[in-house]
Structure 1
Amino acid sequence: MTRIKQFDLPDLGEGLTEGEILKWLVSVGDDIELNQPIVEVETAKAAVEIPAKWAGRVSALFCEEGAVVEVGTAIIAIDTDPGAGDLPDPPAVEESAQGGAPGRTPVLVGYGPRTTAAKRRPRRNPALGTPVPAAQNPSHPASVRTSAPTPATAPAAAAPATAAPAAVVPTRPEPVTVVAGPVLAKPPVRKLARDLRVDLRLLTGTGPLGSITRADVQSAIEAPTTQPDVQFDASREQRIPVKGVRKLTAANMVASAFTAPHVTEFLTVDVTRGMRALDRLREQREWRDVRVSPLLLVAKAVLLAIRRHPMINSSWAGDEIVVKDYVNLGIAAATDRGLIVPTIKDAGRLPLRELADALNELVRTARAGRTTPADMSGGTFTITNVGVFGVDAGTPILPPGEAAILAFGAVRETPWVHKGKVKVRQVTTLSLSFDHRIIDGELGSRFLSDVGHVLADPEAALLAWS
């Protein structure tokens, strides 16, 4: 029976195809136990610890920390019978950790199978900004870390540093070549413009009907440029790889913005009474150890308003609208890894105290980078608290699969007409974006108004709706 087994990066669910090795939790030569965490991997969803498939001794690590590897790639080799004696270097191909039927990608237990193989995509070298080919099959690794480098060998193994390129001062910015469009020019003239890197859109034609001639192109080259020289210094530029949470967020936002017809409405609310209600809540003995924030009141207001307008909590499914009778409340959270949206499952059934505890735990977990993919899936309605950054309002983009999202702005002391007199009141602005295929203006307005009523006077709203 094969002693050394290779462990492949498993499918962590949600259609993910790659992950970044954040931190190895074991080293070559370590004895490990079954299900012991061996590596921390960041995916587009979350940072997760992956457990060992077998007990044994680590014989090789195939990937360095910071490497982005694709699902199904071997990342570690484990000697499952280290007491049987020494072995030569780990063989190139051994038994896979999740071998199975052809066409199936390895799956981490509990995350569900994928029926298609992960697609390899060229990655970008962050130092040079140029695509590099995907890693070779790890069954034949070009370099396998089997031991830590010694001081004597480390300098020789290190790659030479690449010096930053010198500043370039072009004599003329290179224009974009245009080969088609409303510009009148014959094919030979267009070819000449391409060869000379002249943008035909910037020229005034002297030929018939205003067409551009060869002489016009030649004149553009011979004419002195009045544009000042621009210096480009690569050493003063920063290139940030787009991966992980940022990559997934960008893809989702683009897909949502160009799929669902967004509409955004705004409502400015006097929340003085609501803030006083929170102060009274904090004074109660059973709430003294609980962090009570305005977001708690907003979340409760949203849940109450969804109960009155269930269509807000729905999704578009092509030939039908799916209305949910449960609310998985998403809370947008800014973290070091980027913006993530963990959810509170079935939040509509939680009493106020349990909702407060769930909100606080959600924030703590997100800031610690321990939000799991399961915690960020299945959302039905999202709240984004832009007020924590001092922002008054915005036009939030819908998370894919949701019909509405609410942005909660900063609570500010503002001159406000109250009972016929101008007084200083605490005021905030709510922004509701919704999918106009599902929610029309009337429904969106009624929902937003109900949320505002709860924030303006929680006690009266609860009495009126009970």
Structure 2
Amino acid sequence: MTTMTEASVREFKMPDVGEGLTEAEILKWYVQPGDTVTDGQVVCEVETAKAAVELPIPYNGVVRELRFPEGTTVDVGTAIITVDEGGGDAGAGGAGGAPSVAESETSAETPAQAPAPPAPQAPKPEGRKPVLVGYGVAEASTKRRPRKGVPVQQAQAQARAQQPEAAAAVQGELNGHTSPVDRPSPVGRPLAKPPVRKLAKDLGVDLATVTPSGPDGVITREDVYAASAPPAPEPVQTPVAAPSPAQAPAAVSHEGARETRIPIKGVRKATATAMIDSAFTAPHVTEFVTVDVTRTMKLIEELKQDKDLAGLRVNPLLLIAKALLVAIKRNPEVNASWDEANQEIVLKHYVNLGIAAATPRGLIVPNIKDAHTKTLPELAQALGELVSTAREGRTSPAAMQGGTVTITNVGVFGVDTGTPLLNPGESAILAVGTIKLQPWVHKGKVKPRQVTTLALSFDHRLVDGELGSKVLADVAAILEQPKRLITWA
């Protein structure tokens, strides 16, 4: 009987999937102890303060141990899973499983033998793309994940029991007994994007039970919603097992309770920390201006008919963003940051324009890199991609780094204005209120006009009242007379 050497066991540590993030929550394990994994195979999904991402493992071997259960927040650099690159003990605890306590004690008295060569691997599936820069491609597991609610010990027993069947199927194919066409579809991790997995987790849907409708068998959001719909009532009611801790809702409350407690983590925790740092570090000043944007609204309707903008999202935010970029070009000192360590003001010769976006995970602020270099069609395309990506939950951590100035559109909620807080490291943020018909003096007469209120908050260490007023006045002037986009640009 061969024994497993500790030298063959590798630890996979929680990586920093963002820039300087210190922790991440394990949302879902896609493997169990005893499963065979290959280099680049996705083993779990984690959520950081920035985004939800899948983690591929850089080893070949057999899963020996999952260090943390789902729902646990783990510090970056902490080992989360161990893999035996020697293939494990083929005769202990089921194929590929970790040795039992009795066998471990026996092995201490028996001379160690060379580890058995790893079992032949099934042909790698094609078509998967890298899910995270630097980790390679994700591959489907040859093992079925345990159903939700199954205890850990039972799940491990199921995984070990299934291992001989998977190995036999692979060996049979390699020997030519079964062709890939005739072979039944492998039992593996259902194909779905991270936002769809997150949606399924929130709705309590097991993806293994969902019928995919997307290309190449990919499960879509619509499939998850369909699976979450309540089934038709049946004459005989079947008892439902109690949910496992991993299925427990994030908000803890009870029927008739007077309070609901929601854990502070992920995006909400990061937002709270950033806002506290911003509020108590940068001295905020906010200025307001109410402006007639009737001409801008007319221009938007004309631009919607322009063939150069066909298929692009043309809305007030597009022209407001362009107006702010022009105002920054006319007043470049506003685009700066405060370097406390070096006691320097850093003037930025580029504009990474942040757009605040409300998502199911909380408020995030991805930014358009080098927005000052983009034409109006390019800016429209970038805004459309930014918004759609944020709504689908696919915004990457890199997309939220390096912002210089931000726009927050509170008008979409019917709000007239507000006093926005700066994103840490930025010098200014522009809040845009709702646009609505109001009585307005136009050419000496009171007429109904499209009116909105703008609010500009800025760091008073960097931006004094004169500079802040000039920037806000320029934005207002452009929106009142949009032809200035040409004359001032």
Which residue is equivalent to 1:73?
A: 78
The TM-score normalised by the length of structure 2 is 0.65
Are residue 404 (structure 1) and residue 423 (structure 2) matched?
no
Check the 8 A contact 1:263/1:433 in 2, yes or no. yes
Contact 1:59 1:146 in 2 (8 A): no
How far did residue 70 of structure 1 move?
A: 1.8
Partner of 2:486: 463
Equivalences for residues 19-30 of structure 1 within 5 A: 19-30=24-35
Q: Is the CA contact 2:34–2:98 (under 8 Å) kept in the aligned structure 1?
A: no
Aligned to 1:186: none
**Are the aligned partners of 2:312 and 2:380 in contact in 1 as well (CA < 8 Å)?**
yes
3-state SS of paired residue (2:260): coil
Alignment of 1:209-358 (within 5 A): 235-318=257-340, 319-358=343-382
Match of 2:12 in 1: 7
Query: In structure 2, what is the Cα distance between the partners aligned to 1:351 and 1:320?
Result: 32
CA-CA distance at 1:50 after TM superposition: 1.4
Aligned equivalent of 2:43, options 38, 43, 53: 38
The residue aligned with 2:119 is: none
Aligned pairs (5 A) from 1:364-379: 364-379=388-403
Residues 35, 54 of structure 1: 8 Å contact kept: yes
| Matching residue of 2:128 | none
Return the alpha-carbon distance in structure 2 between the equivalents of residues 425 and 414 of structure 1: 6
Secondary structure in structure 2 of the residue aligned to 1:382: strand
Q: How far is the alpha carbon of 1:234 from its aligned partner?
A: 8.5
Which residue of structure 2 lines up, in the alignment, with residue 52 of structure 1? 57
Stretch of structure 1 that moved more, 402-411 or 278-287: 278-287
Structure 1 residues 16-25 or 241-250, which shifts more? Answer: 16-25
Aligned length: 346
SS at match of 2:272: helix
Among candidates 129, 135, 156, match of residue 146 of structure 1: 156
Alignment check: 8 A CA contact 1:33 1:56 kept: yes
Cα deviation code 1:427-454 (max 9, x no counterpart): 1111000011111111111100111122
TM-score (norm 1): 0.68
CA contact (8 A) 2:288 2:453 kept: yes
Q: 1:147 to 1:76 in 2, by over 3 A?
A: farther
Q: Contact 2:427 / 2:458 at 8 angstroms: preserved in 1? A: yes
1:219 match: none
**What is the correspondence of 1:83-122 to structure 2 with a 5 Å cutoff?**
85-87=90-92, 90=98
2:278 and 2:156 map into 1 onto residues whose CA distance is 45
Q: Deviations for 1:367-390, whole angstroms, at most 9, x for unmatched residues?
A: 111111111111100111111111
Q: Secondary structure at the match of 2:20?
A: coil
Name stretches of at least 5 consecutive residues in structure 2 with no aligned partner: 102-131, 136-151, 162-240, 249-253
How far apart in 1 are the matches of 2:451 and 2:245? 59
Q: Is the 8 A contact 2:25 2:73 kept in 1?
A: yes
Structure 1 residues 25, 413: CA separation in 2 closer, same or farther (over 3 Å shift)?
Answer: farther
1:407 maps to amino acid? A
Structure 1 CA distance for aligned equivalents of residues 345 and 303 of structure 2 = 39
Q: Is the 2:428–2:458 contact (alpha carbons within 8 Å) kept by the matching residues of 1? A: yes
Give the C-alpha shift of residue 30 in structure 1.
4.2
Encode CA deviations 1:33-79: one digit per residue, 9 max, x unaligned.
32232221111122122111113343433322222122223222333
Over 3 Å counting, the alpha-carbon distance change for 1:147 and 1:342 in structure 2 is farther
Partner in structure 1 of residue 457 of structure 2: 433
CA distances 1:67-104 after superposition (whole Å, capped 9, x unpaired):
21222232223333438724555489xxxxxxxxxxxx
Q: What whole-Å deviation, never above 9, does each CA across 1:317-350 have from its counterpart, x for those lacking one? A: 1322101000011111111111111111111111
Map 1:183-202 → 2, pairs under 5 A: none
Q: Quick check: 1:312–1:404 contact (8 Å CA) kept in 2?
A: yes
Structure 2 counterpart of 1:354, which letter? E
After alignment, is 290-299 or 8-17 more displaced? 8-17
Q: Deviations over 1:296-328 (max 9, x none)?
A: 111111111110111111011132210100001
Deviations 1:170-209 (CA, angstroms, capped at 9, x unpaired): xxxxxxxxxxxxxxxxxxxxxxxxxxxxxxxxxxxxxxxx
Match of 1:133 in 2: none
What is the CA–CA distance in structure 2 between the aligned matches of 1:86 and 1:236, rounded to whole Å?
A: 55
Q: Which amino acid aligns with 1:462?
A: L
Alignment RMSD: 3.1
